[in-house]
Amino acid sequence: MKTLAEPTFENIEQLKTIKNDLKRFMMGYKFAIDEVNTKLNILKEEFQYIHEYNPIEHISSRVKTPESILKKLKRKNCELSLDSIKENIKDIAGIRITCSFISDVYKVSEMIKNQKDITVIECKDYIKNAKPNGYQSLHLIIKIPVFMTDRVEHTYVEIQIRTIAMDFWASLEHKIYYKFNKEIPKRLTTELKEAAMSAMELDKKMERLHEEVKMIKSTENSTEHLMDYSINEKLSLLINS
């Protein structure tokens, strides 16, 4: 198998040869993101209508650049071809979903998994099992059909679902990671881990408050329903007397 070494004249010429195919290849990932975003917007609006509540705070998406794809191919020591890219790099298309509460993360995950035309290839739960550095998120690798003019492309999309607190921590950690050229001083690593634990506790506390509010609201609704029933019953007795 021909592996990807340092960029050479031969590599460059090879890339030029597949340039037109690469453009269409990359379009497939953009269309896959459009498909998933459409599904998420439908689920979000329907959930809001049924439950008067929206579990999704924010959705963002991106498609890896060709440069980033080539670097990852090199790290994985894979062949330089479109087929190799498709099979070995499953996060070219990426979607990040931010939720308010941990329970919402799993609700959204289940709604995605229940879509008939989505195949879940992999699920990594870094919420129940956080990474050693403290990182938390739920990762799904899915495959979704993209209907082109002359064929159907079954395309991989990586979906990351996390809370606002998790997203804030991950964004800060990412900035520090690259600021120190991936070699973070031990003191900062320790503090980041402590911050991750604090974010975890905050998420748990907010979840408890959220559940308490739901219970109070449910009790109030039940009381109002009983009061309405009592008033209607009295009116009925007055009318029929």
Residue type, 63: V
Whether 146 and 155 have beta carbons less than 8 Å apart is answered as yes
Whether 122 and 146 have beta carbons less than 8 Å apart is answered as no
Question: How many other C-beta atoms lie within 10 A of the C-beta of residue 207?
Answer: 16
Instruction: Give 120's strand partners.
Output: 142
Residue 158 annotated in active site:
yes
Structure tokens at 12: 């460059």
Residue of 158, 173, 191, 212 with catalytic role: 158
Percentage helix, strand, coil for the chain under 3-state DSSP, each rounded to 5: 60, 20, 20
| Phi, psi torsion values for 152, nearest 5 degrees | -110, 125
Whether 162 and 136 have beta carbons less than 8 Å apart is answered as yes
Question: How many other C-beta atoms lie within 10 A of the C-beta of residue 194?
Answer: 11
Catalytic residues: 158
